[in-house]
Amino acid sequence: MSRTQETSAHWGTYLVEVSADGRDVVAARAHADDPDAAPAIGNVVDAHRHRSRVARPSVRRRWFEGGPSPDAGRGDPAEEYVEVGWDTALDLVARELARVRDAFGNQAIFGGSYGWGSAGRLHHAQSQLHRFLNVIGGYTRSVNDYSRGASMVLLPHLIGQRATADLRFKPVSWDDIARHTDLLVSFGGVRRSNTWVVPGGHARHVGSGLAREAGRTTRVVTLSAQRDDAFADLGAEWLGVMPATDTAVMLALVHVLVVDGLADDAFLATHTVGADQVRRYVLGEADGVPKTPEWAERISRTPASAIRELAHRMASGRTLVNVVYSLQRGERGEQALFAGLTLAAFLGQIGLPGGGFSHGFGSMGDYGVGIAGARLPTFPQGRNPVPDFIPCARISDLLLRPGEEIPYNGGRLRLPETRLAYWAGGNPFHHHQDLRRLRRALATLDTFVVHETHWTPTARHADVVLPVASTLERDDVAAGAGDSRLRASPCAVTPHGDAREELWIYTRLATRIGADFAEGLDSRQWLERIYEEWRGRPGSPPAPPFEEFWRDGDVALPQNPYRDTVFAAFRDDPVAHPLETPSGRIELFSGTVAGFGLPDVAGHAQWREPTQWWGSPLAAEFDLHLLCNQPSHRLHSQLDMGAASQSTKVAGREPLRLHPVDAATRGVVDGDVVRVRSAQGSLLAGVVVTDALLPGVAQMHTGAWFDPSAPEVADCVNGSVNVLTRDVGTSTLSQGTSGAHVLVAVERYDGPLPPVRAYEPPKLVRELAE
């Protein structure tokens, strides 16, 4: 008979039914008491034993025969892989790590992991890879992330480090919104699908339910190019804004507050610096261009009357200004964030319950749950002795421009020569932009090592692919920030093929190189160690010994609402509780940023025309503005072959949404296949016609697996949107990702439709092995 047990992922805790022999997952379903379970659960059954699983250690044939070297053929769909035994694979990787370390130094090794591979506290791919590279002498690392790359650099200059942390982990809560907020104004919407995802997962999905309760008492206005950016239960009012133009609308709102005498001058005088510079700018005294609603309408297509009316509504009661993550994921991305904070400061409600500024509602499931995150068990990474680093979105620059310098946060970063990249638990073909450029960058490496469960696009570009056990195939513990339970997540099924736990892999690699990775402990012993160390720390909640915890399956985490926020104390007394900025106040004009002398970021928020917007010269050829959102039925690119993800496809590939006017202009209807082009590349997509978009705007989800199998038709025939996006930094300040939108041209594709081969493994040969 089959058995059912609980397991956890970043999209939540759910149940799997396992076959009697313990090999197969035959069903997966949500808990009956999960109020808003994620559709991604529906991908699990198909993906578990899918033909794209990596079954054995595999080595790219040309690398296997010719040795380490740059290779423009890396990622060729016709490339063969040689399946080898574990001893051969580990010997090859250890020998190559030692060669690169000895000949070029540890800085020539890039540790590329983005950490979304597993929700577990022990089997966290990023932590394990970084610990391994640290014990063998270090590596070039990345900093910040793709989600908030611009924010993490800019905000500390404006509000300080502790307040920046509070914006993420102690923001205005949904409960405060329900009790205190008259009006929530969200730039970029409040997407329900994003509330399904929490780093580490949650025991149950509560974010959308809290938002729904807040929507009963609070009016919500969303400004976005998509009407359905706010989920229906909020009953939100929609104001259309063309992509990349939100900053202009925010500045016009400030203009109305100033001109109509609605700004909180007392708050500005006591809690901010730079308000006078902002006033001069929005009034046009600095550049001769008043930032009126009419000016903003010409840029954003948002009616001037609606902007003026919204400003008055915002000033008439308790208002919360929210800027979602996606707005800063574009060229000039800092400006929307800067302007949103400035708008909130001119309203004067920062630090009040339910008022002020937030940066994350609609971006993450744990945002605003109102619970102070408990300290959780962690796997120690050790210390990296190599000082070199890059902003994470500059990986192609690192590989293509060795020895050069790039500006970053007021300084200069030298890009070290990189010979080997080691990737685990992430897929840069989902997160990164301009995939043609990324492929050229990966071709420069001597060696690319990847840990994977499936033959993802990243694995298909690797020289050595090491098969790793999935979340369902190993014991772990799981919890996310603000979670209600620390949960046991026991192994549900036997590993696929020759897959191994990463701790097993790193232990044996380190031994071959003469280092100690695991301190003599296996994964079960490490699991007990990090749990007992967590249990024994001061401030940890009451918890039983490990064996009792493992038997019972969970332990309660404290659900303490946070109240002691930096902003609340600062508002009460900005002298006694200053922010960690040079002035101790909110810096609407940052002398530090201005002092950097950057060509694209000034000391206060500004409208600066990006390359990618409907008013740019590029729009003459690429006349649609494509929004690139996170997907609703998978996490990033994970398990794209699964039933839930496949249910969203059109003509077997990723859908492209078009407004009826834009569809009619191009002669396409629902279900047609189109070729989408940008200055960077091309793809095939299936058409969905909807009036939920502004005319001139198209939309696709990120995360479809890259499929270059028919280059004569398109760079990707499966709809991987990052073949279209630009690989340029948000600015010379933060160097964040600019992949949230891009200008494109769309035309109906009437040629023979190539099959999707993204989920097929490469040709595997064994006769050359040991």
- Hey, which residues are catalytic here? 114, 116
Euclidean distance between CA atoms 77 and 537, whole angstroms: 51
The residue among 737, 567, 573, 485 whose CA lies nearest residue 165 is 567
Q: Are strands 586-587 and 272-273 parallel, antiparallel or unpaired?
A: parallel
Write the single-letter amino acid at 52.
Answer: S
Distance CA 187, CA 324 (A): 6
Q: Which tokens in the block code for residue 274?
A: 């730079």
- The side-by-side arrangement of strands in the sheet containing 80-83 is 109-112, 420-424, 447-452, 464-467, 58-60, 80-83, 763-765
> Closest by alpha carbon to 248, among 289, 287, 284, 300?
300
Q: At 661, give phi and psi (nearest 5°).
A: -65, -45
Cβ neighbors of 173 (< 8 A, separation 6 or more) are: 210, 368, 369, 370, 561, 562
Distance CA 645, CA 648 (A): 6
Q: How far apart are CA 103 and CA 440, in angstroms?
A: 24
Taking the C-alpha atoms of residue 69 and residue 187, their distance in angstroms, rounded to an integer, is 47
CA separation for the pair 313, 239 (Å, rounded): 14
Query: C-alpha angle with apex 645: 641 to 648, nearest 5 degrees?
Result: 130
Which two structure tokens, joined as six digits, stand for 533?
């160390």
Structure tokens at 757: 């081969």
Enumerate helices (H) and strands (E) in the chain, giving the number of each: 24, 30
DSSP track, 589-613: S-HHHHHTT-SS--SS------SSS
SS (H, E, C) 441-495: HHCCCCEEEEEECECCCCHHHCCEEEEECCHHHCCEEECCCCCCEEEEECCCCCC
The residues pairing with 5 across neighbouring beta strands, listed in sequence order, are 16
- CA gap 271, 277 in Å, rounded: 15
How far apart CA 344 and CA 762 sit, in angstroms, is 53
What is the rounded CA–CA span in Å between residue 738 and residue 735? 9
Kindly report the CA angle at 123 between 122 and 129, in degrees rounded to 5?
105
